[in-house]
Amino acid sequence: MSRFDLSVLETAPKLPGKPRHKTREVKVGDKVFGGDNPIWVQSMTTTDTFDVEGTVKQIHALEEAGCELVRVTVPKPEDAGALSEIKKRIGIPLICDIHFDYKMALAALDHPVDKLRINPGNIGGIDRFRQVVRKAKDRGLPMRIGVNAGSLEREFNEKYGFPCPPAMVESCLRYIEIAESEGYHNIIVSLKSSDVLVAVEAYRLYAKLADYPTHIGITEAGKPPYAVTKSAAGLAPILLDGIGDTIRVSLLGDPVPEIAACFDILQATQRRVRRPELIACPTCGRLAIDLEKIIAELEQRLEGRKLPVKISVLGCVVNGPGEAKEADIGIAAGNGQGMIFRNGEMVRKVKEEEIVDALMVELADWEATNQHRLPKTKDAEGLGRRKLPLVTG
């Protein structure tokens, strides 16, 4: 008899993963946040918004990278004046970022924007917030209540001693209730901090109390590559808890790399799978094939494929067969040949130089066999892999 309580293991779920936090749906342009919709990827421009040419050029670069919504800052009247022209020339929803001056929010709402972002900690008080809510309601436009630990209202800092998760959530809930008192429910929420632990716990607390969709991110993460690692460290536990309806990775400098970082984090947490998952063993003394060459060729040939398939390529006999069996398609190779596995069963052996071609043949067969599981629209990536409980979106 084991000294450990094995009943814990016997009753534990075999398929890991928490369900998506159920939130109400909020429409932003042609995107719907919340519910079972995809977790949308967004970014923010670094240009002066009144520089229409520069701003549009950067937004086009973000669109090319896969950005699905974009935010611009509106601190001055000339920025608000540029919004209509910018909106005409881009293909994704346009979000206006407002700080300090509520009049800029009112001015932005005179233009064809798709959403506002308001920071309640610096907008200038409840009465001014109400004015913005009323105009957004009249326009039928959504608003993000963006609480930030670095600009939390004084009263909550005094009540809790510092900008901790409970203080951030109470601030957020207050402004939700104010908006609701105006009959306005077109709300998205963010609870950002540059401290990973604070951000994670703030979102967890919020999810216990409210059901408005969430924009998730670690603010002021800094310069890559550390900023990407820090963002992943914070966003992963939030996503794995099922929280998050839109995501931004905040990087110093050019915003375009933010898009790939967002999609990589969503892919790794299995919250939005939009390309094959390619698994390869690390380089070690047991490696018995030219794995780097094989992986490079596979990556090239898989470019642009949006299939939720798990492909494992292992170059030794230690973990190779086991990993290959767990993948949708796998190969355990060494000494100039490889064993191909499909759905856990070995199907054939091939020579090392035939591995890539053989895997592509298996991939075509997998795709044909699993047509009923594949996305039917461009927005519905990530419908599931064998044995893996992926969340739609």
pLDDT at position 110, please?
Answer: 96
Region label for 161, one of left (φ > 0), alpha (ψ between -120 and 50) or beta (otherwise): left
Beta strand spans in 319-387 (E): 329-334, 337-342, 345-351
pLDDT at position 385, please?
Answer: 43
DSSP track, 271-319: SS--S-EEEEPPP-TT--S-HHHHHHHHHHHHTT-----EEEEE-STTT
Pick from 331, 354, 273, 339: which is nearest to 306 by CA? 273
Quickly tell me which residue has 């809930």 as its tokens.
173
Sequence-separated (6 or more) residues with CB below 8 Å from residue 106: 131, 132, 135
DSSP H helical ranges for 140-255: 154-160, 165-181, 196-209, 226-240
Amino acid at 18: K
Question: Would you say residue 382 has pLDDT above 60?
Answer: no
pLDDT at position 275, please?
Answer: 87
Go through the chain and tell me how many residues it has: 393
Which range has the worst mean pLDDT, 20-24, 80-84, 109-113, 311-315?
311-315
Percentage above 70 pLDDT, the chain: 92
Q: What tens digit of pLDDT does each residue of 234-262 get?
A: 999 999 999 999 999 999 999 999 999 99
Q: What tens digit of pLDDT does each residue of 157-178 get?
A: 999 999 999 999 999 999 999 9
pLDDT at position 389, please?
Answer: 37
Cis omega (within 30 of 0) for bond into 225: yes
Which range has the worst mean pLDDT, 32-36, 268-272, 334-338?
334-338
DSSP track, 181-200: HTT---EEEEEE-SSHHHHH
Pick from 288, 308, 329: which is nearest to 371 by CA? 308
Percentage above 90 pLDDT, the chain: 67
Question: Would you say residue 13 has pLDDT above 60?
Answer: yes
Pick from 381, 382, 306, 385: which is nearest to 344 by CA? 385
Q: What tens digit of pLDDT does each residue of 41-84 get?
A: 999 999 999 999 999 999 999 999 999 999 999 999 999 999 99
Query: Band of the pLDDT at 285, cuts 50, 70, 90?
Result: low
What average pLDDT does the chain have? 90
Q: At what angle do helices 256-268 and 226-240 cross, to 10 degrees?
A: 40
Query: How wide is the angle at C-alpha 298 spanned by C-alphas 293 and 299, nearest 5°?
Result: 100
Q: Decide if 82 contacts 49 (C-beta within 8 A).
A: yes
pTM: 0.90
Higher pLDDT, 24 or 322: 24
Domains (ranges, CATH) in the chain?
26-268 (3.20.20.20), 277-373 (3.30.413.10)
Give the C-alpha separation, 284 to 254, whole Å.
Answer: 36
Q: Which residues are paired to 338 by β-bridges?
A: 333, 350
pLDDT at position 390, please?
Answer: 38
Give the C-alpha separation, 339 to 321, whole Å.
Answer: 8
**Residue 37: both structure tokens together:** 């919709």
The one-character DSSP state at 21 is: P
Sequence-separated (6 or more) residues with CB below 8 Å from residue 305: 275, 276, 363
